[in-house]
Amino acid sequence: MVTANARSLLLGRNKKRARQWSIGVGMLFVASLLYFAAVKAVDYPTIHLALWWEGYAVLLTVLVAVQAYSNGGLVVSWLLTFAAVVGLVLNYGGIGLTGGGPGIVELIGLATVGGVIAAAIVGTLGFGIGTAVRRTAK
The 10 Å CB-count burial string (b at 16+, else e) for 35-74 is bbeebeeeeeeeebeebbeeebbeebbebbbbbbbbbbbb
Q: Where are the domains of the chain?
A: 12-137
Tell me, rounded to whole angstroms, the distance of Cα 45 from its chain centroid. 22
Rounded Cα–Cα distance for residues 63 and 126 (Å): 8
Q: Is the pLDDT of residue 62 over 90?
A: yes
Q: Which has the higher per-residue pLDDT, 39 or 106?
A: 106
Is residue 64 within 8 A of residue 122, CB to CB? The reply is: yes
Per-residue pLDDT of 92-105, as tens digits, reads 776 666 567 788 89
Q: Which has the higher per-residue pLDDT, 7 or 111?
A: 111
82 CB burial (10 A radius; 0-12, 13-18, 19+): buried
What is the per-residue pLDDT for 103? 83
What is the per-residue pLDDT for 35? 82
Start-to-end Cα distance in the chain: 30
Rounded Cα–Cα distance for residues 74 and 133 (Å): 15
Cite the beta strand spans of 1-138 per DSSP E: none
**% of the chain residues with pLDDT over 70:** 78
What is the per-residue pLDDT for 127? 93
Q: Quick one: pLDDT band at residue 1, thresholds 50, 70, 90?
A: low
